[in-house]
Amino acid sequence: MKPTYKLFLILTILLSNSFLFAQDKTQDTEELSLETSNVSGQFEFVIKESNGWKDGSGKYYEVVKRRHLETLKAHTLDTLKLLKSEIKKSKIEIERQNREIKALKTNLTSTKNDLSETTEEKDNINFLGIQMSKAGYSTMFFVIIALLIALCLFFAFQFKRSNAVTKEAKDKLLEVETEYEDHRRNAVEREQKVRRQLQDEINKNKGK
């Protein structure tokens, strides 16, 4: 057997172990064959059909029939070609699934944003063009009511106080008017008294 075929046999065995790990490696229920067995069974067939041989130095070799090796090579290459095709298909399918996953993630993000906006709109109230939370709106409402009540109480107090001040002013004005009237009456009386006295003096002087 040539060294090239021996090297090829070793390489194909290693490759078959790497790419065909998932294949069934035992064929207890079927006869080993290069035509009907899987790749692992074909290797088993070639190995069983090989013959042992020792050289002059005592080294042991397995002699494999060339036609068996060529058939195994062709089947192995076909299997590798099929595997490459399946791998390519798998990569395409993975890429497709990745695109679908990306699209689903985008849709999920959009749905979450829509849900967040809906929740925010549900929890908020538009007051005079301003978005406010319901809690904030309730707080502002009660603050306004409290301010209105305080203003009503303030104006009521001011009105009552104003009435009191007005009444007090009217009373003082009436008192001043009364005092003025008394003063005017006293002044008239004094003036009349002085005039009578003056007239009496004039009359006395005329009689002399």
Higher pLDDT, 27 or 148: 148
Over the stretch 152-176, which tens digit does the pLDDT of each residue have? Answer: 999 888 888 888 888 888 888 888 8
List the Cα angle 165/168/169 in 5-degree steps. Answer: 85
**What is the three-state SS of the chain?**
CCHHHHHHHHHHHHHHHHHCCCCCCCCCCCCCCCCCCCHHHHHHHHHHHCEEEECCCCCEEEECCHHHHHHHHHHHHHHHHHHHHHHHHHHHHHHHHHHHHHHHHHHHHHHHHHHHHHHHHHHEEEECCEEEEHHHHHHHHHHHHHHHHHHHHHHHHHHHHHHHHHHHHHHHHHHHHHHHHHHHHHHHHHHHHHHHHHHHHHHHHHHC
pLDDT (average), residues 66-70: 75
Model pLDDT, residue 21: 44
Q: Do the Cβ atoms of 13 and 43 come closer than 8 Å?
A: yes
Model pLDDT, residue 124: 66
Considering only CA atoms, which of 31, 73, 30, 67 is closest in space to residue 50? 67
Model pLDDT, residue 190: 85
Model pLDDT, residue 148: 92
Distance of CA 160 to the CA centre of its chain: 57
Model pLDDT, residue 8: 53
Model pLDDT, residue 95: 92
d(CA 104, CA 38): 40
Over the stretch 7-56, which tens digit does the pLDDT of each residue have? Answer: 555 555 555 554 444 444 444 435 776 667 777 777 777 777 767 767 77
Give the max Cα distance, the chain: 203
pLDDT (average), residues 178-195: 84
d(CA 13, CA 5): 12
Model pLDDT, residue 17: 53
Confidence of residue 96 (pLDDT cuts 50, 70, 90): very high
Residue 101 has pLDDT above 90, yes or no: yes
Q: How many residues does the chain have?
A: 208
Higher pLDDT, 132 or 184: 184
Task: Decide: pTM greater than 0.85.
Answer: no
Q: Which of 26-40, 87-101, 143-157, 181-195 has the lowest mean pLDDT?
A: 26-40
pLDDT (average), residues 51-74: 74
Residue 4 has pLDDT above 70, yes or no: no
C-alpha gyration radius of the chain: 62
- Considering the chain, what is the average pLDDT of its residues? 76
